[in-house]
Chain A
Amino acid sequence: MSTEPGRAWSDAPLIFERSRPGRRAGRPPRPDLPVPDLPSSLRRAHPPRLPELSEPELVRHFTALADRTFGIDTGFYPLGSCTMKHNPRVHERLAGLPGFRDLHPYQEDEGAQGALELMWRLQEMLAEIAGLPAVTLQPAAGSQGELTGLMLMRAYFADRGEERDTIITADTAHGTNPASVTMAGYRLEKVGTDERGNLDLDDLRGKVNERTAGLMLTNPSTLGLFDEGIEEVARIFHDAGALLYYDGANLNAVVGISRPGDMGFDIVHYNLHKTFSQPHGGGGPGGGPVAVRDTIEPFLPVPRVVQDGDYRLDHDHPKSIGRVRGFAGPFGVFVRSYAFMRAYGPGLKEMSEVAVLNANYVLARLRDVYDLPYDRLCMHEFVLSARGLKREHGVTALDIAKRLMDYGIHPPTIYFPLVVPEALMIEPTETEPKERLDDFVDAMRRIAEEAAESPELLKEAPHGRPVRRLDEVRAAKQPILRYLFDEHPALVG
C-alpha cells in the first residue's frame, strides 16, 4: 500500500500482496472427534498458497476492486449486441430466497414443485415469444444455445437418414456462429450482405443445396437492421429441405412485434442475460434456452420440465441429443428472467418499442457527424463508422472509444461487425432516460470536434481512468497468467 497522498485510486494490491502468514478470516467447525488418516499417497504434501487475510482486509480488497470496475449501475453502457439494460434489484432478492438458493438439484420432484412450476411457466412464455411450441432451458449461455441448436439439426437429419454437412452464416455473424459450426462438426459457408444490409439473396440461392443443413442468422442483424427479405430467405432454405436457426442475441428489438417462428425459423436461442435482464456479472452467468418447431422437439436435451398434474423432470426421450449441461439449467437465472417477464407481462412489446425508439433517436442525432454505412431507420442498435474521421484526422474507432471513457461513458462495441470499417456499434437499450442519451450524443459530437481540433486528446485517451492504455502485445507475447509469489516477474516499462 502506498503511503503517498493522492495515489489511492491507482494502487490496488493483489490479494496475495495483502496476505500475511498466520492471518485468517474463516474458522470452519471442528467436531469433537479424532481426525482419521488419509492414505499417504493421496494426502496433500504442500498446502496451496491461498491468501491469508482477516475479514476487514478481505472486504476492503473487494470494495477496492469494485471501485475500479464500471457497471450499468455506474453509468451508460451502450455496448452493441450486449443489451446492457438495467438489472432490477428485486431479482437478486428473489433469487436469494432460501426456497430457491438452498434447493438441492437432486431434491425429489415433489420437494421442488415451486422451482419446477417456475421453469415450466418460463418455458411457456418463451415459447409464446418465439412463436415455437417446445423449449429447453438447459443451455448455459447463448453460444451453448447455438451449439445445442446445431446438434439438434444433426440429430434431426440423422433421424431422417439425410447427410448434410454445411451450415451457412452471414458475413455479419457473431464469431460464436462459425465457432459453434466447427464444434458441431459442420462445414461453414458464408453469405454476403446486400447494399441495404439484408442477406444477399442471389449469393444465397447459389449456395443452398442438398448438402445444406441450415442457416444461422441474427435478425435484426448485427448491423441493427431487420432483414426485409426474411420470408424469401426462409423459403429458399425450406425448399431445399434445410432448417433455419435464429441467433437470439438481438431479440430485444422484436419481442411482441415479430416472432422468429413466424419469420420461418425452426430453432431459436434466447440470451436471458441480454433480453431478459440476468445481470452479466462481469462476464457471466448467462442463460441460453432454445425453442424449436414440433418436428425437432423429440431431439431436445434431457431432462425436460413437464406438467402432468404435478410438475416433474422428464428424462424419457430416446431420440434426445442428451445432456448439454448439468441439471435442468442455470436455475437462478430463470428466477430473474421469469420475474422480469412477469413484471412487464404483454408490455414486453413496449420494452422493444422503446429500445428501438431510443436507438433511432441517438442515430438521428449522430448521423450528420459520423458515417452511416446503411442509410435506414435502425432497430434496437445501429452501426456507425469512423472512416471519415480516420481519413481526415487520423483518429480511429478505438480512439473514440477510449475518449468516451473520459466522459464517464462505457464505449460501444468496436470493429464489429467486420463488414463495416472503423465500426462503432451502439445499443442504448430501453431503460435509459432521454438525458443519458443526450449526454452520450453530446459526448460523441464533442469528440468528433476534438478529433479535428486536438486529435492527440483522443490518441492518448483515456486520461481519467485508473490505468491508461495497456500494452496488449506484451500481455500476449510474454503471458503472465497467474501470480507467481517469490518468482513473480517484475515488469518494467
Chain B
Amino acid sequence: MSYLSLTDTDRQEMLAAIGVSSVEELFEQVPPGVRLDRELDVPPALGEAELARHIEELAARNVHTGAELSFLGAGIYDHYVPSVVDVVLSRGEFLTAYTPYQPEMSQGVLQAIFEYQTIICELTGMDVSNASGYDGMTVAADACFVAKHAVPDRKKIVLAETLNPQVRQVVKTYAPGFGLEVVEVPHTNGTTDPDRVAEQARDAAAVLFQQPNFLGCLEPAPDLAEAANEAGALAIAHVDPMSLGVLEAPGAYGCAMAIGEGQSAGNWPSYGGPHYGFLAARKDFIRRMPGRIVGETLDMDGRRAFVLTLQTREQHIRREKATSNITTNQTLLALAGLATLSWLGPEGLREVGETCLTLSQYTRKQVALEPAFDASALKEVAFRTPIPAREVIRRAREHGVHPGYALGRDYEGMDDVLLVAVTEKRTKEDVDRLAEVLAEVCR
C-alpha cells in the first residue's frame, strides 16, 4: 500500500516537463559511493486491512487499564478523558496543521493555545505559560535553564528527593550541558524538611519540589517555597493539574515557576506518551521563557487576532543565543487538556480532587497494610508490604488486579513499599476488591 497520488501518465508528463527521461536521473547528484544498491531490508508492504490486523494483534498482547483493575499511578494517571476531546483530536484542521507560523491561516489553533495558556495560568496562579513542553520531565530541565540565566551567579540546582525520579533523571542528563550541579535533599518520613532545603538553597539558583510528591504525600509546599525564596533561589513547584481544584496554586505561595505533567488532564496513558508538559512563570521571566508563546493583537482592520509572539527568544531567530532549542512541542495534547479542563469547569475540577481525596482516604482505611508515611495524601497512598512489593504486584495481577507501583524501583530501602493510586474512575467497590486481593496475596 502507499499513499501516493501520481498516475503513470502524470509521471511521464512530469518527467518531460523537467527534461529528464527517468526518475533515476534526478538522483545523479547523489555520489555513487553513498548510494544504496539494494532494496531496503524491511518487511513487505501491507494493505490497510492486513496492517490493521497485524497491529490489532500487537495491541491485544498488552494488558491495559480496562483489562485489569489498575491502581497504577506514579506520575501517569487513569483519569477520565471526556468525549469532547475527540472533537479536538478528530478535526483534521487541528490534527494536520503545522506550527502556526502564518497567523492568517491559523487563527483557530492560535486562539486555542491562547486559551490553554490562560487555563494553565489560572490553575497555577502564574502570569505566563508557554504553549507546552514535551512532557513533565523535560519542562523541569527547561525551568533549570531559565533559572541558570535568571540567577546567573549560582551554578547549583536543588531537587527534593520526593520529586518524580524520572524528572530528576532528566534534569541530571541536561545539567552538565548547562554547567549546573545538581544536589538532592532526602525525604524525612515521606516529605521534605524545609530546614534542609534552606541549608542547600543558600548557593542555589533554584529549588524544585513536587506537590503532591512522588511518594503520594502532601509536602509543606508553602514552607518549601519560603525556604527557597529566603535563600535567594527560585522556588519551582511540579504540580498535577487535576489536583489544583483543591490544592493551593503555586503562585499563591510564592513560587517563581510552576511546571508539571499535563497527561492527567486530557491525555490517555498511552504507554508513556505523547503527552504535554506545562511551564508557567511569574511575569519577571516572560522574556526568558522557552518555547512557543501566543499573544493577542489586532489585524490591520482592527480585529482581535492571535499570533506567535516574543519570537526573539526562539531558536529560529536567536539561534545559538535562544532560550531553548524547542520547536515542535505538544500542541494537540495541550488542546486535549484545554477541552478536558473546560468540560470539567471549576466545579468539576474541585469534585475530581475531592473524589480522589475521598477514595485515597478510604483506601488507607480499607487496606490492611501499614501506611508507609504519616503525611496526608491526595490520590496516592504508600503501604508497607510484608513481602517485596514487586512480588505483591506479581501475585495480585494473577487475581486481575494491578495494585500499584513498587517504590523500590527508585528508592533504596523501599523494596517493601507499594504506591497505590486512585482516580475518579475507581469506585468504592474497586477499592474493596483491592483490599481483598492484597489481604489474600500478603498473607
Contact = CB atoms under 8 A, between A and B. Distances in A.
12 contacts: A36-B358, A43-B246, A69-B93, A86-B3, A99-B64, A102-B268, A102-B269, A180-B325, A183-B174, A280-B328, A468-B303, A479-B286
B394 to A, nearest CB: 8
A55 to B, nearest CB: 7
Interface string B274-303: 110000000000100000111111111111
A326 B47 CA distance: 33
Interface string B45-87: 1111001101111111111111110101011101010101001
A52 B118 contact: no
Given A42-B221, A281-B331, A26 B82 contact: yes
Contacts of B187: none
A314 interface: no
Contacts of B100: 282-283
Contact of A280 (B97, B174, B294): B97
A34 B362 CA distance: 10
A154 interface: yes
B105 A258 contact: no
A286 to B, nearest CB: 4
A243 B331 CA distance: 34
Interface in B85-140: 87-109, 111-115, 117-119, 121-123, 127-129, 131-132, 134-138
Leading 9 A-B pairs by shortest Cβ distance: A327-B272, A281-B332, A73-B92, A99-B59, A493-B302, A114-B61, A345-B45, A283-B331, A285-B274
A468 B43 contact: no
B413 interface: no
A101 B56 CA distance: 12
A491 B298 contact: yes
Nearest to B65: A102
Interface stretch (A74-82, A383-391, A445-453): A74-82
A284 B177 CA distance: 25
Report which residue of A12, A79, A92, A345 has the largest number of chain B beta carbons within 10 angstroms of its beta carbon: A345
A170 to B, nearest CB: 12
A220 to B, nearest CB: 9
A474 B362 CA distance: 54
Given A65-B108, A465-B105, 16 more contacts: A44-B350, A55-B84, A99-B64, A102-B64, A104-B72, A114-B61, A154-B177, A174-B316, A231-B33, A324-B174, A325-B170, A342-B45, A343-B1, A343-B51, A361-B18, A474-B298
A328 B304 CA distance: 42
Contacts of B107: 12, 68-69, 465-467
Interface string A49-73: 1111101001100111111111111
A59 B87 contact: yes
A457 interface: no
Interface in A3-41: 10, 12, 14-16, 23-36, 38-39, 41
Chain A interface size, as a band, is: 35 or more
A30 B302 CA distance: 47
A121 B177 CA distance: 32
B205 interface: no
Given A97-B55, A179-B315, A256 B176 contact: no
A69 B118 CA distance: 20
Interface in A124-157: 125, 128-129, 131, 140-144, 146-147, 150-151, 154
A405 B104 CA distance: 8
Interface in B1-28: 1-7, 10-11, 13-15, 17-20, 23, 25-28
A47 B138 CA distance: 28
Contacts of B136: 326
B415 to A, nearest CB: 16
Contacts of B268: 101-102
B98 A141 contact: no
A43 B115 CA distance: 25
A471 B297 contact: yes
Interface stretch (A202-210, A290-298, A332-340): A332-340
Contact of A282 (B45, B98, B118, B397): B98
A71 B96 contact: yes
Given A185-B179, A433-B10, A472-B297, A141 B345 contact: no
Interface string B312-355: 10111111111011111111110100110111111111111011
Nearest to B303: A467
A306 interface: no
A84 B299 CA distance: 27
A257 interface: yes
Contact of B129 (A34, A329, A482): A482
B62 A107 contact: yes
Contacts of B74: 106
Given A128-B40, A141-B327, A254-B30, A67 B93 contact: yes
B348 A33 contact: no
A335 B272 CA distance: 12
B172 interface: yes
Given A71-B95, A118-B55, A143 B327 contact: yes
Contacts of A42: 211, 218, 221-222, 247-248, 376
B247 to A, nearest CB: 6
A167 to B, nearest CB: 10
Contact of A51 (B68, B134, B244, B342): B342
